[in-house]
Structure 1
Amino acid sequence: MEKIKLLLTQYQEAILYIVFGGLTMLVNIIAFWLAFQAWHMNSSVSYLFAWFWSIFFAYLTNRTWVFHSTAHDLKTVINEIFQFLVARIATAVIGFVIFYFGVNLLKQDAQIWNIIQNIFVIISNFALSKLVIFKKKA
């Protein structure tokens, strides 16, 4: 039991990142469904609506429960939000390039390349959040 406790403590950030990542995906799915099915917005607008709310949810949960941000003054919080958005946009663009390369240039299975790019995006977002955005001050 002690070994399990030690492992949970040691990998707490990664475990919480996975849990809240799953909840972020759920927020995205529900927001997309609401916009697209219930409110009859077009698919592109629905996608952006869902992306906004899932990123908003991800920022709040990552800030509060995963990385325990210590930023409290307005300037620092705005900088943190800006870095979070830039990181998410950058990894999304790189993920799309990876997907495009595999599917359109190599002519391979879209599902496999979607998984590959998602793995890259998840790991990159975790690393950027831990090492840059919510970096602990010395």
Structure 2
Amino acid sequence: MKKLIKKYKEIILYIFFGMLTTIVNFVIYFIMNALLGEDMYLVSNVIAWIGAVAFAYVTNKIWVFESKSRESKTLLREIGEFVSARLLSLGIEETGLYIFVDLLKFSTFSFSFLRLTITGDVIAKVIMQVIVVTLNYIFSKFIIFKK
């Protein structure tokens, strides 16, 4: 079992911190939606993205990819590449949300489960999060924190 954990440690940590990042993203998204209104879902998503990216950079650098570099040149490169990759995935997520919510009218869908109502924009966000998390791992592993 220890061999298996050691072999897949990076992926396990990425999934763990990715789940925490997703929670950070959703909490901020729900708070902003409550404050700004549901019609401002794209703005809420951008604000949630900023908080999640800051959290993800720190956790990815320190615990997932164990980047030890503290040189300002390397830090600036990592941060620049990290933010650039996340901007690309944000664009993909925003486009996907727009397609699902506005074009495919997911906003008209909702269902209740154990007193919890799940709306179409949340379903769309979950779908897009799966896509974005996968892309972000690829960017981080092979470009940003490559060893």
Q: TM-score range by the shorter chain?
A: 0.7 to 0.9
Structure 2: 5+ residue runs without aligned partners? 107-119
1:83 counterpart = 2:94 = no
Name the counterpart of 2:133.
Answer: 122
- Report deviation, 1:115: 5.4
SS in 2 for 1:71: coil
Distance 1:26 1:116, change over 3 A: closer
State TM-score, norm by structure 1: 0.74
Residue identity in the other structure for 2:6:
T
Cα distance in 1 between the residues matched to 2:52 and 2:125 = 19
Distance 1:32 1:25 in 2: 10
Residue 7 of structure 1 deviates from its aligned partner by: 1.0
Counterpart Cα distance in 2 of 1:18 and 1:51 = 18
Instruction: Work out which of the residue numbers 10, 27, 38 in structure 2 matches 1:30.
Output: 27
**Cα distance 1:125–1:35, how it changes in 2: closer, same or farther (>3 A)?**
same
- State the match for 1:11 in structure 2: 8
Letter in structure 1 aligned against 2:138: A
1:5 Cα deviation after fit: 1.0
* CA distance in 2: counterparts of 1:35 and 1:97, whole angstroms: 19
User: What is the TM-score normalised by the length of structure 2?
Assistant: 0.70
Identity %: 37
The equivalent residue for 2:70 is: 72
- Of residues 55, 58, 81, the one that matches 1:57 is 55
Cα distance, 1:49 vs structure 2? 2.5
Amino acid at match of 1:27: V
Task: Please report the RMSD computed on the Cα atoms of aligned residues, expressed in angstroms.
Answer: 2.9
Distance 1:35 1:99 in 2: 16
Shift of 1:71: 2.0
Higher strand share: 2
| Distance change in 2, residues 1:48/1:100 (3 Å) | closer
- State whether structure 2 residue 142 is matched by structure 1 residue 131: yes
- Residue 79 of structure 1 and its aligned partner are, at CA, apart by 1.0
How much has 1:26 moved relative to structure 2?
1.6
Question: Do 2:69 and 2:75's aligned partners in 1 also have CA atoms closer than 8 Å?
Answer: yes
